[in-house]
Amino acid sequence: MTILVTGGAGFIGSNFVLDWLAENNEAVINVDKLTYAGNLQNLEGVMASNRHVFARVDIGDGAAIADLLTTHRPRAILNFAAESHVDRSIHGPAAFIETNVVGTFRLLEAARKYWSELEETERQQFRFLHVSTDEVYGSLSATDEPFRETNRYEPNSPYSASKASSDHLVRAYHHTYGLPVLTTNCSNNYGPYHFPEKLIPLCIHNALAGKPLPIYGDGQQIRDWLYVKDHCSAIRRVLEQGRLGETYNVGGWNEKANLDVVKTLCAILDELSPRKDGASYSSQITFVKDRPGHDRRYAIDARKIEQELGWKPAETFESGIRKTVEWYLSHQEWVSNVTSGAYQSWVGQQYGA
Q: Are 45 and 23 in contact (CB under 8 A)?
A: no
Q: How, if at all, do strands 247-250 and 222-227 pair?
A: unpaired
Q: Is the Cβ of residue 32 or residue 134 nearer to ligand DAU in the bound state?
A: 134
Q: Rounded to an integer, what distance in angstroms lies between the CA atom of residue 321 and that of residue 317? A: 6
Q: How far is the CB of 75 from ligand DAU (least distance, A)?
A: 27
Which of 30, 104, 133, 156 binds ligand NAD (CB under 6 A)? It is 133
Active site residue 159: yes
For CA atoms 169, 194, 25, 57, the dihedral sign is: positive
Q: Rounded to an integer, what distance in angstroms lies between the CA atom of residue 16 and that of residue 285? A: 32
Q: How far is the CB of 303 from ligand DAU (least distance, A)?
A: 18
Residue 66 CB burial class (10 angstroms; 0-12, 13-18, ≥19): middle
Does residue 7 touch ligand NAD according to CB under 6 A?
Answer: yes
Q: Is the Cβ of residue 85 or residue 106 nearer to ligand DAU in the bound state?
A: 85
Q: Which does 258 bind (CB under 5 to 8 A by kind): ligand NAD, ligand DAU, none?
A: ligand DAU
Q: Rounded to an integer, what distance in angstroms lies between the CA atom of residue 44 and that of residue 32? A: 15
Strand ranges for the chain from DSSP E: 2-6, 27-32, 52-56, 76-79, 127-133, 181-186, 188-190, 213-216, 222-227, 247-250, 255-257, 285-288
Does residue 238 touch ligand NAD according to CB under 6 A?
Answer: no
Does residue 262 touch ligand NAD according to CB under 6 A?
Answer: no
Nearest Cα neighbor of 227 from 9, 4, 15, 35 is 15
Catalytic residue among 58, 83, 135, 197: 135
Active site residue 135: yes
Q: Residue with the closest Cβ to ligand DAU?
A: 133
Q: How far is the CB of 346 from ligand NAD (least distance, A)?
A: 12
Does residue 82 touch ligand NAD according to CB under 6 A?
Answer: yes
Does residue 317 touch ligand NAD according to CB under 6 A?
Answer: no
Active site residue 145: no
What residues are paired with 256 via a beta bridge?
223
Q: Which does 249 bind (CB under 5 to 8 A by kind): ligand NAD, ligand DAU, none?
A: none
Q: Which does 298 bind (CB under 5 to 8 A by kind): ligand DAU, ligand NAD, none?
A: ligand DAU
Nearest Cα neighbor of 286 from 350, 187, 217 is 217
Catalytic residues: 134-135, 159
Binding site for ligand NAD (CB under 6 A): 6-7, 9-13, 32-35, 37-38, 58-60, 80-84, 99, 103, 131, 133, 163, 186, 188-189, 195
